[in-house]
Amino acid sequence: MISKLRGLWRALAQWRQVPRFGFLQGHTYLSEAEVGRIGELVGQDDPETIKSYEQRFARLIGEGRAVSFAAGRMGFYALMKLLDLGAGDEVILQGATCSVMANAVLRIGATPVYADIDPETFGSSVDAIRRVLSRKTRVIVAQHSFGIPCRITPIAALAREKGIFLVEDCALTLGSSVNGVVCGNFGDAALFSTDHSKPLNTMTGGLVYTRDAALYERLEAMRAICGALPAMKQQALWQQLILERKYCRPDQYGKMRLVSRFRSFAGIAGRPFIDEDFGSGVSASYPYPARMPSFLAEIGHREIDRWEKTKDARKALLQNLLDLFERHGEKMPMVYRDRTREIIPLRLAWASEHAAAIRNRLEPILDLPWTWFMQPIVASSEPLENFGYRQGQCPISEKTGPNMINIPCNIAPEWAERLVTSLTECMDAR
């Protein structure tokens, strides 16, 4: 009770701040007719909506095919199950990842092993992966962070050399490419997340993409026998969509935390998200893996409809943000100027020796608790040891994390100029 009251008080202190920019962007572009169509599908199974969404999503990546699940981690789990992973097997994860990835590995009975980050891309490092390889390694997960492609080509070569299954973790990256090859096409399979903080927002959801026809058919068969999210969970997700559509916008964002805290305090809403997987245990209130609800796939269609314009807007915003912070003396990662990469940014991310001071300046306008990856495993309050992580295992990640700064790039285009102006004012303030 006391912690809830404290959270409510903090939310009250922020609600008048306008604008306030967050890392969640509501579906403000949806018309009332589109919202109505989505609402009609809540709790309904519409295989055609799911199938066409999967097909359209796959075309964003390449010539492969995609299978959807209620969350990206569930697709990852399904993939590992098809590979018959279990006790005695090791899966290499990046030492700057979400707890749900480690949870999936633990749930399958395998052992997560953490490889340090590349300090330039904040993604996977082939040298770090090579150092933790063992005879027990069955899967390598190569992560592309913040929209920045990692140095994937040598990782793919290493996986082929060793005969190890390579999964590209594209949860934070959609559409970015290396030498014209879109991320997701370098490995044996690729994992995408479409939750409300990811490049394409369906509230929750994810897909596994592969060019392996046999693997696709097996994934599709496994998805077919998965359970559905409970009706109460789907209804709560629908209510969350309406809430975020109203409040997850810069002129209302300061109210979002207050409204959410009040609803939680008053017991008005159920828990909409699939959040029991953020610990090291096993979820109990929904099937795992579960199918993606049809109404979320319908949102995915609307997101894909506008994806080309979204990409262009995010790339333009990235350049303006880079210029802004470089003018203020920040040394930005050179990868942002690498012409062999096309970066479709989710966030501008960098590590700064002035991080604490910069975050303090930006706090009035940014939702800073959403900064990634300030420690090697995020989104859990449990000790990292519960996920098999040992202190000192990823020293670059541990050193870099506290200095991380994130700026959202998934801002509605009509607010992009105001974001740059507000950031400039904060950085100019003395």
The DSSP 8-state label assigned to residue 186 in this structure reads S
178 with 205: CB under 8 angstroms? Answer: no
Residue 262 lies in a domain: no
- Give the Cα separation of 260 and 326 in Å (integer): 36
Could you tell me if 429 and 365 are in contact, meaning their C-beta atoms sit under 8 angstroms apart? Answer: no
User: How crowded is residue 135: how many other Cβ atoms within 10 Å of its Cβ?
Assistant: 6
Task: Please state the φ and ψ torsions of residue 407, each to the nearest 5 degrees.
Answer: -125, 125
Question: Does 343 fall in a domain?
Answer: no
Q: Is residue 91 part of a domain?
A: yes
Burial label, 257 (beta-carbon count in 10 A; 0-12, 13-18, 19+): buried
> Whose CA is closest to 196, among 416, 22, 51?
22
Report how far apart the first and last C-alpha atoms of the chain are (Å, whole number).
Answer: 39
- Tokens 């969640």 correspond to what residue? 24
> Looking at the domain assignment, is residue 367 inside a domain?
no
Nearest to 143 by CA among 128, 122, 160, 162: 122
Tell me, yes or no, whether 373 lies in a domain.
no
Structural domains counted in the chain: 1
285: Cα within 13 Å, side-chain hemisphere: 12
Residue 118's alpha-carbon distances to 97, 152, 325, in angstroms, are: 13, 11, 22
Contacts of 427 (CB under 8 A, 6+ apart): 324, 325, 328, 358, 361, 362
Domain assignment present for 112: yes
The Cβ-side half-sphere exposure at 104, using a 13 Å CA radius, reads: 24
Q: Are 63 and 204 in contact, with CB atoms under 8 Å apart?
A: no
Token pair 């479709």 is found at: 344
The domain that holds 166 is classified in CATH as 3.40.640.10
Q: Do 247 and 255 form a contact (C-beta atoms < 8 A)?
A: yes
Instruction: Please report the sign of the dihedral spanned by the C-alpha atoms of residue 47, residue 51, residue 52, residue 57.
Output: positive
Distance CA 131, CA 126 (A): 9
**Residue whose token pair is 């409300």:** 196
Residue 420 lies in a domain: no
- Tokens at 324, concatenated: 């802004």
263, 239 Cβ separation under 8 angstroms: no
Domain assignment present for 15: no
Q: Tokens 């949102």, residue?
A: 299
Residue tagged 């150092």 (tokens): 131
- Other C-beta atoms lying within 10 Å of the C-beta of residue 225: 8
Burial of 3 (0-12, 13-18, 19+ CB in 10 A): exposed
Evaluate the omega torsion of the peptide bond into residue 272 and state whether it is cis, within 30 degrees of 0: no
pLDDT of residue 254: 84
Residue pLDDT tens, the chain, 430 long: 455 445 444 545 555 555 899 999 999 999 999 999 999 999 999 999 999 999 999 999 999 999 999 999 999 999 999 999 999 999 999 999 999 999 999 999 999 999 999 999 999 999 999 999 999 999 999 999 999 999 999 999 999 999 999 999 999 999 999 999 999 999 999 999 999 999 999 999 999 999 999 999 999 999 999 999 999 999 999 999 999 999 999 999 988 877 776 665 555 556 889 999 999 988 889 999 999 999 999 999 999 999 999 999 999 999 999 999 999 999 999 999 999 999 999 999 999 999 999 999 999 999 999 999 999 999 999 999 999 999 999 999 999 999 999 999 999 999 999 999 999 999 998 6
Helix, strand and coil in the chain, % to nearest 5: 45, 15, 40
> Domain limits at 40?
34-224
